[in-house]
Structure 1
Amino acid sequence: MRWRDLLPFGDPRTPGRMRQWFLSRFSRHRFEILEAPAASVSELRARWQRATTQDLAHTVGLSEFVCRQAALALERAERRHRGARYKVPRFVIEEISARAPFRAGVAAYASQLGKSETQVHREAIRYLHEIAATHDPTVIDLVANLTRRIVQRGYRALRYSPDQLARVQTLAQKGPVCFLPAHRSNLDHLVLFLALYENGLPPNHTAGGINMNFFPVGPLVRRSGVFFIRRTFRDNELYKFVLRQYVDYLLEKRFSLEWYIEGGRSRSGKLLPPRYGILSYVVDAYRRGKVDEVYLVPVSITYDQIQDLAEYATEHRGGAKTRESWRWLVRVLRRLRRRYGDIHLRIAPELALSEFIARESIATLADPEETSRPIQKLAFELCVRIARATPLTPTAVTSFALLSVPDRALTAGEVTALVADLLRWAETRELPTTAGFAWGTVSQVTAVLEALVENEAVSCFRQGEEPVYLVSPEQQPAAGYYRNTVVHFFLGGAIAELALFAVRDSFLARQRTGMPVHSHEEATQEFWRVVFWLRDLLKFDFFFPDRQQFREEIDAELRRAHPDWQTLLAHADGVDELFHHLRPLLAPASLRPFLETYWVAAQAALLWGDQANENRLGFVSQCGNLARQLWLQRRIRSTEPTSRVLLQAAVDLASYHGLLGPGVDPVRRKRWADQLRAALLWLDSVAARALARFAEEVALREVPSAGFATVATPNGEPASPSSI
């Protein structure tokens, strides 16, 4: 449906009386009379009895039920002509409130709360009105057109695979589908909504925070599929009951759901720990036999650049989250005047709940809010699939390259050389990439750098011989955001690099003290001990496969560098030889901000750990001040540890290890800080080797070969002597 169809007289598919009269008199070819299938009174009464469990002789409410069934039958007849795009629920509140489980639950809560059943029923209906989406086909078309304009305003294109959406459409014919996207931008819902609309699929029922229910956003998105839920309702049992009944209804009617498994937007770029609320409701509905099957579909929505980054930068510095309002909406639309590249939508392989339940055997829970171990594993598996589907983008790879050489401005040619190493590394591992991944010339990398400069994620100095690019200390969180969207791909190699240096340092320490050197078996054991210690250390920030699979991935990673890598662990020179084959070195850009943040929190625990639990936000603020001091003293090399977002995860890690609060042995805190400091020393060793390699390669490129100057061909590649 186009703007010119909607704006003058409303939706032409549902004309008013005057337009109906006009069409019937002068444009008979433009309308068709539809007839829905008939049903006998006895059949309708049987349906009504099954739906409400009323006595067959009791007819109170039967007439209303028949009217609703007639309207729904006509709706289905219209849908066969108009398409599945407009498959929307009708009479949601009436149907839910008439169900026996709803009425029984209201009666039980009335008894529990000491209120009359009428009073509790009225309150439950009010919650239903507050939660439920109210789809309107006209508004669906209107929002689709608005979304297309918004996306085109700030982005070149929305890129996705129609085949992936066709696969989802096939799944929807078998059972309800639940979309679980990663949440990085306020545009995420609109992006998925537009992709479904363009492929003739109905809009999802999307869980949205009630903070977005403001004019004009709230009325529009509610009528196009969003249902609003409160941010916190842990102590409101009636509200939880109503929400659970609403989810049951949507699943039984096989409507598609959508919610963000992280709960809120990621301010750091990486996936956040999962929230289990709605996932627990869906699993509970399946366990109670409300549906035969549920398909969970992980979704990755990745942006070349995001317009939310200015807000995130404020929150990184400790500022308050901007409250959503009309003014906030205007600012968002104004920011979209800039160009932010492309949007990439990827749908990961689905997970059939019946298969997972058959393996994990989720036990009956007295309270669906309770988070069982299998539900945690289910959420973990969904997050792993989202991460694996996330593509490497030119912006993310370029940001990673810039951050791998900190405190130094680079020419476009130098950045291109670093990017080329990363591209080769990714191609050999068959990692998911964007459609334009076959890039890497100086001109292409320069275009990416200039886009980052335009949006203030990178600085450029142009007054010298040639432009040079630098991530300034203030810009490190912004560039780090784009790096973090793909950093999970590099973690295995980065952890292996630190473990190799741990083994090497152990060899050298034993030689200095005159102790017997490690045997091959001892060196191998030390390597894997450090690998799994780092894995456990980082699991608060990242999702890893199980220990056996992770071990196999590390082994495969090092075998690419040297088939007999384990034999090289027998002596320090062998480790040096193995490092010679590792290219590129990944640990400095991948792990430094996280390890330094953990160390800052450990140092803060030594100073103020006894009072940390009394005021957790105050302790995080103290950590930020300490991080700023340590950076000014250059005891840490990145400004990212000053971010409140990263520090919160580091404080949670320290709390998990029992290092915060009164009565903690200071020796334990000191040991924890020393272990993290040792990891940073390994990281510094890897970084020094990476910088030395980079400086050597830059020097080689600057030396003319056989008396010929190095020039560039029109496509941006270095010319060979024969072409000069």
Structure 2
Amino acid sequence: MSKASRGSAATINTMTFATASAEGLPQPRPGRAVGLLGRLLEPWVRIKRDPVEPGALFKPDVPVCYVIERNGLSDALILDRACREAGLPSPLQPIDGLNLRRRRSMFALTRRDGVVFGRARKRAPDTLTQILDALERQPEADVQLVPVSIYVGRAPSRDTGWFRVLFSENWVMVGRFRRLLALLLNGRATIVHFSEPVSLRQVLAERGGESTERLGRKIARVLRTHFRRIRAAVIGPDLSHRRTVVDSVLNAEPVREAIAATASKEKISEAKAWRRAQGFAMEVAADYSHPVVRSASFLLSWFWNKLYDGIAMHHFDKARAAAPGHEVIYVPCHRSHADYLLMSYQLHSSGVVVPHIAAGVNLNLPVIGPILRRGGAFFLRRSFRGNALYSVVFNEYLAQLVDRGVPLEYFIEGGRSRTGRLLAPRAGMLAMTIRAFLRAPRRPVLFQPVYIGYEKLMEGKSYIGELSGKPKEKESLLGLLRATKVLRQRYGHVALSFGEPIELTPMLEQASADWRQAAADPDAKPEWMNPLVDRLAERIQVNINATADVNPINLLALVLLSTPKHAMAEADLLAQLELTKALLVELPYSDRVTVTAQTPAEIIAYGEKMGWIGRVSHALGDVLRAEDEQAVLLSYFRNNVLHLIADAAWVAACFLNNRRMSRASVLRLGRIIYPFIRGELFLRWDEEGFAERLQGVVDFFVGRGLLESQGEGRLLERGPGQDDGAFQLKTLARSLMQAYERYYIAIAALVKSGQGTLSAGALESTCTTTAQRLSLVHELSAPEFFDKALFRGFIQRLRERKLVWTNEAGTLEFDPVLGEVVKDARVILSREVRHSILKITAAPDDKDAASQAAA
């Protein structure tokens, strides 16, 4: 695009008058008043013409008629001023040589009906038809049709004030008041783009017998296409899906078929079914707005500075390098409502296109919903069941996004984690994405896992309440307004860590060599699809965990919550923090895990500053402790990184009730327990890899003096109970002890009830009530200990291992080997805990037997 000269108005007028005279163009009247409104507007508008000298485009002695994209007095005045400054014929004068009733030599393609709430109206302008009719009556005459594009405040730079961004040029036809504000705020960045003139005489000569009315409609369509192309080049592509995608969705063959099927099934007209489908599409579709995104970035910048002490991004350069040429699907973990705002803000600040985000329809609140929609959110219902038309419309909308290469973001956990752990994935969006790619496999799909880590959560207390049995509070505008009190607190640092990306095509090749045949048949449901979706979902969760960021609060939570009263002497806490951090650094879980650089002393000081722990002064040395409520909240942050020490916790657990143990027994029992730990924590190793990892942990403990290796490494021994090394092992072991206790509860309840006695639902309920009772007796501070979803997942893994199955009566039967597992539990579970669990789960007549089994 040409650059405007910055000469004075007088100099420009002198030059343009000379140009007009030389070329024989009709000269404007230099002293002609442009009206009061034009004079009022003049100080607020600075015009940049493109090209700088548009007169060179015109033919001499041929009348001119200007065409603008949108009707409006301000656009007419801007065009008139641009023409006067360039020495061109004024658009406010009649067309020379034609006896038309029109007083102006200009018209607009689109008008807006009504004064305040009118809608845009597109049709062939009457002026164009009148000109064509006049040219038919005067075969010797001609008119130059000049398309002129006017942009008031094109897409602003990063330094532009946020309020001005709201009124920058976009793809929406705004009303008069909004246009006035745009002129007042952005008028000094006005662009007037003159395009090559079109000879209407030549168009008439080539019309091929068409009527002037039909020809006028054809010219109007061509001009609209021209204006859209120029607008896209000046301010960027139109990302408003309510104009560019919804129509495509409704015209797609699957949607048309679903509309016809709905009309037939419900005995309604197809027009009514179509309107219903349109309503679904409008409910779903994003309405991306560059000004809103830019404005939100300014607001969020203030908001984050108010809430957080810093936002870090790890491995983003690797993610950026992998993205070109791919359809990128961001799949972060979901821990807070702030997740998607943080992701979009950080990507936008890093110069990356903001993804379109799948949001629950519960967030489509008054005021908030439209803002989120303009920020790229598209909404989906929690369930598609029973609404085939909605399902087809949503699938088609998602397919349109994938086909257009729009980056996407969604959370495969289905909701925010209330425990800090990754939830079992709900793979519906993954399945729809894969089917969308199979339908049009033009651009390879790349899934980008992202770990999001906090040091304090805005929703922390509500999470604990929900886990304790309180009903989930429904999102509402009033609730959001009440939540503004969070601005009074500080929430520490946040980390966004980008994991190893996952390419879809290699996984498809692995699933089926002829996967492209499924692409040729959109209705195909290949057998390999569901297993592929499950593998992809699990791999995403594994890759999220493999890029965890360990912050000071995570470390404090890991250590303090492993003590009975969540308190430690300062010297012991320093030593345990040093050990845990050394374990994470010297035996890294993966090359993408990051660990805080703070020293143990700095971690303690930071925990006190953030209010997570308190100091109790004592003559024999200070004690650091977490109060009851803080301890419950800290369990969330322990669970964020619990998977990183699962291997070390298992080795340490083997020496809780045993001073000596063979290395082979540690590995053998580790192999037995690993599938269940892996399923719960989304660990990255297979069973052989875990065994190798355990070997490394044993060597680390031996090197640190926590274990002593005897008999050429075959026998391992810890120090006596009062030894510091034994205390450190015990603290590590307790990190995962609650998981082992949950497993024991489920297996003990099943075995004690007997074959074919309990259904899966009854077993879940029994496990939950048992865990709740045990939590009360032992004062456990982790509400997820009795989370029914964790028991459900464990029972499912027992099914997968063929250790448990459902009989014809719908009740559970099990492999007798589970009875041996109950006995083996004495290796890591204390007699007291085993007795408590067996006593609670046993039938009344079995109390004595339970006591004997615990012994």
Asked if Structure 1 and Structure 2 have the same fold, meaning a TM-score greater than 0.5 normalized by the shorter chain, the answer is yes
Alignment partner, residue 513 of structure 1: none
Match of 1:555 in 2: 695
Code of the aligned partner of 2:673: L
Aligned positions of 1:49-128 closer than 5 A: 69-70=225-226, 72-79=228-235, 89=241, 90-107=243-260, 110=263, 116-128=269-281
Which residue matches 1:148? 301
Residue segments in structure 1 that go unaligned for 5+ positions in a row:
40-58, 508-522, 688-724
1:397 aligns with 2:550: no
Which of these residues, 516, 541, 544, is aligned with residue 383 of structure 1? 541
CA distance in 2, matches of 1:380, 1:78: 44
- Cα deviation 1:339-381 (Å, max 9, x = unaligned): 1101111111222212222233285474599961122111111
TM-aligned CA deviation for residue 241 of structure 1: 1.1
- Taking the aligned partners of 1:338 and 1:249, their CA distance within structure 2 comes to 42
| Cα deviation, residue 406, structure 1 | 2.5
Q: Distance in 1 between matches of 2:233 and 2:739?
A: 57
What's the counterpart of residue 825 of structure 2?
679
Q: In structure 2, what residue type is equivalent to 1:285?
A: A
Residue deviations 1:150-190 (CA, integer Å, cap 9, x gap)? 322221111115x72x5555555413211000001110000
CA distance in 2, matches of 1:115, 1:589: 64
Task: Describe the SS at the equivalent of 1:271.
Answer: coil
Is the contact made by 2:166 and 2:295 (CA closer than 8 Å) also made in structure 1? no
Task: Flag the 1:582–1:663 CA change in 2: closer, same or farther, 3 A.
Answer: farther
Task: Tell me the residue number matched to 1:31.
Answer: 190
Q: Structure 1 residues 663 and 238, CA, compared in 2 at 3 Å: closer, same or farther?
A: closer
* Counterparts of 1:388 and 1:625, CA distance in 2: 33
The structural deviation recorded for 1:5 is: 4.0
- Correspondence for 1:337 among 481, 484, 488: 488
294-303 vs 459-468, which deviates more? 459-468
Contact 2:652-2:729 at 8 Å conserved across structures:
no
Superposed displacement of residue 92, structure 1: 1.8
The answer to whether 1:494 aligns with 2:649 is yes
Q: More deviation in 196-205 or 574-583? A: 574-583
Partner of 2:36: none
Cα distance in 2 between the residues matched to 1:194 and 1:172: 18
Alignment of 1:547-696 (within 5 A): 547-561=687-701, 574-576=715-717, 587-605=732-750, 613=759, 623-634=767-778, 641-643=785-787, 646-647=790-791, 649=793, 658=804, 668=814, 672=818, 675=821, 678-679=824-825, 681-684=827-830
TM superposition shift of 1:256: 0.6
Q: CA deviation at 1:100?
A: 3.9
Letter matched to residue 670 of structure 2: V
1:219-368 alignment, distance < 5 Å: 219-361=370-512, 364=518, 366-367=524-525
User: How far apart, CA to CA, are the structure 2 residues paired with 1:356 and 1:280?
Assistant: 13
Total equivalences in the alignment: 638
1:372 aligns with 2:530: yes
Partner of 1:201: 352
> Structure 1 residues 246 and 9, CA, compared in 2 at 3 Å: closer, same or farther?
closer
Query: For residues 355 and 614 of structure 1, what CA distance do their matches in structure 2 show?
Result: 37
1:54 corresponds to: none
* Distance 1:466-1:577 versus aligned 2 partners, 3 A rule: closer
* Cα pair 1:412 1:446 within 8 Å, conserved: no
Partner SS for 2:448 = strand
Question: 2: distance between equivalents of 1:589 and 1:37?
Answer: 78
| Residues in 2 aligned to 1:37 and 1:555: alpha-carbon distance in whole angstroms | 76
Superposed CA deviations along residues 407-435 of structure 1, whole A, max 9, x for unmatched, are: 26224443222111111111213457898
Question: What is the distance in 1 between the residues matched to 2:185 and 2:775?
Answer: 78
Distance in 2 (alpha carbons) for counterparts of 1:387 and 1:38: 61
Q: Secondary structure at the match of 1:160?
A: strand
**Which residue matches 2:282?**
129
State the one-letter code of the partner of 1:494.
Answer: A
Aligned partner of residue 738 in structure 2, secondary structure? helix
Opposite residue 350 of structure 1, the aligned amino acid is P
The secondary structure found in structure 1 opposite 2:717 is: helix
Could you state the TM-score of these two structures normalised by the residue count of structure 2? Answer: 0.65
| Inter-CA distance 546–291: structure 2 relative to 1 (3 Å threshold) | farther
- The Cα RMSD (Å) is 4.5
Q: CA 1:368–1:265 in structure 2 vs 1: closer, same or farther (change >3 Å)?
A: farther
Structure 2 counterpart of 1:118, which letter? A
d(CA) in 1 for partners of 2:441 and 2:535?
22
Give the AA of the match of 1:318: G
Tell me how far 1:309 sits from its aligned partner. 0.9
Are positions 1:215 and 2:352 aligned together? no
User: Is 2:692 the counterpart of 1:541?
Assistant: no
Deviation at 1:329, TM superposition (A): 1.0
Tell me, yes or no, if the aligned pair for 2:335 and 2:418 is still in contact at 8 Å. Answer: yes
Measured in 1, the distance between the counterparts of 2:285 and 2:194 equals 30
TM-score (norm 1): 0.75
> Once the 2 structures are TM-superposed, how far is the Cα of residue 239 of structure 1 from its aligned partner?
1.6
Contact 1:493 1:586 in 2 (8 A): no
1:423-473, Cα deviation, whole Å (9 max, x unpaired) = 1111213457898822124244222144243xxxx5654587765333456
Q: Is the 8 A contact 1:502 1:527 kept in 2?
A: no
> Given that residues 561 and 578 in structure 1 are in contact (C-alpha distance below 8 angstroms), is that contact kept between their aligned partners in structure 2?
no
3-state SS in 2 of match to 1:590: coil
| 1:615 to 1:497, Cα distance in 2 relative to 1, 3 A | closer
Q: Cα distance, 1:498 vs. partner?
A: 4.4
Within 2, Cα distance between the matches of 1:203 and 1:35? 32
Shift of 1:675: 2.4
Partner of 2:313: 160
**1:644-696 CA-partner distances (Å, limit 9, x unpaired):** 564554566677754889979999599747725743641559x9xxxxxxxxx
Give 3-state SS (helix, strand or coil) of 2:458's partner: coil
The question of whether the paired residues in 1 share the 8 Å contact of 2:239 and 2:288 is answered with: no
- Write the distance in 2 (CA, Å) between the matches of 1:150 and 1:258: 22
Structure 1 equivalent of residue 669 of structure 2 = 530
Provide the C-alpha distance between the structure 2 equivalents of 1:155 and 1:98, rounded to a whole number of angstroms.
46
Contact 1:271 1:542 (8 Å CA) reproduced: yes
Please point out which of 570, 584, 596 is paired with 1:437. Answer: 596
SS in 2 for 1:200: coil
- Provide the secondary structure at the position in 2 that maps to 1:301: strand
Alpha-carbon contact 1:197-1:203 (below 8 Å) kept: yes
Which amino acid is the alignment partner of residue 676 of structure 2? L
Distance 1:338 1:406 in 2: 30
Q: Distance in 2 between matches of 1:234 and 1:681?
A: 47
CA deviation after TM superposition for structure 1 residue 145, in Å: 2.6
Q: What residue identity is the alignment partner of 2:669?
A: V
Q: Shift of the alpha carbon at 1:33?
A: 3.2
1:70 and 1:196, CA in 2 relative to 1: closer, same or farther beyond 3 A? farther
Hey, what's the Cα distance between the residues in 2 that align with 1:103 and 1:38? 41
